[in-house]
Amino acid sequence: MALAWELDKQKVPLWVNALISEFEVIAPVRMHGEEVFTLVSDGSQVALDYVNTLASPKEFFLPQFETMFSFTTGRGDFDIEVPPGEEKSGVIFGIRPCDVNALLILDKVFSGDQKDNYYLGRRDRNALVALGCNQPSARCFCGSVGGGPSLLEGFDVLLTELGASYLVETASARGRQLIDKAPDLFRKASGASKREKRRLVERAKRLATKPIDPLEIAGKMEALFDNSKWVELGKRCLQCGGCTYLCPTCWCFDVVDRVENGNGERLRCWDCCLLCGFTRMAGNLNPRESTEARIKQRFYHKWDYFVQRFGTLQCVGCGRCTETALCHIDWKKVFDWVTSEK
């Protein structure tokens, strides 16, 4: 059972300041009329009254462009230097349930047989202070895919907005330590507050789209494999990459070497399955030559193949793909089309 406190809203900056003294704190900050996750230097910068950011905090675990190691060549051998990890531990403050659930999906991928120490190192070093979702937006379909709005696991601390205060629950020793940085700010949660939280969670669930079994979704996808809808969608794709780059559950990356005068860097950068080069092989042969084949791959990977492999969808229903894509493909509508399949 999680431990619970209450924190008055106006004390949030004080708590964040206490955290900043020991951690790198990443939180949503309002700039230029929108909220973005960024490093904060003062608690007053943190803006928790937001729906969700356009970019998820994925980049703090899997950066878009990352030096894996540097090397020098010559005399037939290599000297390799792996960059040191960050010195300070971090706190991702105010992350939404869908984005926590997205990290749990990435965990499955990066902690399989091949451990990705870059990603896992950052997961270890960063605590998650999640912010419960009381009001899913019109774009979200988290309820149907298990991405939210409730959050049951994966967080160190969970905040739930209760009017003038937050209910603060911890789920780990690390979470408890974050409270202990400024214990005087918190008071023990009352029974009424806990009941209010349960009421808000139930209400959010009712507002969200209704849950559907992942296996049922995967089954419907299989029935639709030869549907002409995919051709229609493929025709629209402008290959902007936005749907994959902004997707909190897309992890594909490319690995490139940059070598100049015997000094080299091995880098990895986000990749995108909508691009022709993603699957192009020697001799220009390509199993997914058409945009139709590629966009279909993305839908099937998310809503079918991943289910077969891991038992969950590779989608948290955040709707960022719909918001950012140049092609104006509405993933929620496609999802509704799939799930309405008899």
Q: Which helix (H) or strand (E) holds 170?
A: strand 165-170
CB 102 within 8 A of CB 119: no
d(CA 213, CA 143) in angstroms, rounded, equals: 11
d(CA 109, CA 106) in angstroms, rounded, equals: 5
User: How far, in whole angstroms, is CA 47 from its chain's centroid?
Assistant: 19
Please pick, from the candidates 219, 275, 290, 305, the single residue that binds another protein as defined by CB under 8 A.
Answer: 275
Strand ranges of the sheet holding 253-260, from the earlier edge strand across to the other edge: 77-81, 65-74, 263-270, 253-260
State which of positions 142-201 bind another protein (CB under 8 A). Answer: none
Please pick, from the candidates 202, 326, 333, 336, the single residue that binds another protein as defined by CB under 8 A.
Answer: 326
Please pick, from the candidates 8, 202, 256, 308, the single residue that binds another protein as defined by CB under 8 A.
Answer: 256
For 224-270, give the DSSP string. Answer: TTT-THHHHHHHH-----HHHHS-TT---EEEEEEEETTEEEEEEEE
Residue 238 found at the interface with another protein (CB under 8 A)? yes
When the beta carbons of 116 and 169 are compared against another protein, the nearer one is: 116
Residue 99 found at the interface with another protein (CB under 8 A)? no
Name the 3-class secondary structure at 199. Answer: helix
Residue 65 found at the interface with another protein (CB under 8 A)? yes
Residue 73 found at the interface with another protein (CB under 8 A)? no
Q: Smallest distance, Å, CB 283 to another protein? A: 8
Residue 284 found at the interface with another protein (CB under 8 A)? yes
Residue 122 found at the interface with another protein (CB under 8 A)? yes
Peptide bond into 149 cis (omega under 30): yes
Please pick, from the candidates 22, 42, 44, 64, the single residue that binds another protein as defined by CB under 8 A.
Answer: 64
Chain residues in the site for another protein (CB under 8 A): 24, 26, 31-34, 36-39, 54-55, 59-61, 63-66, 86, 88, 90, 122, 235-236, 238-242, 245-246, 254, 256, 258-261, 263, 265, 267, 269-272, 275-277, 284, 323-328
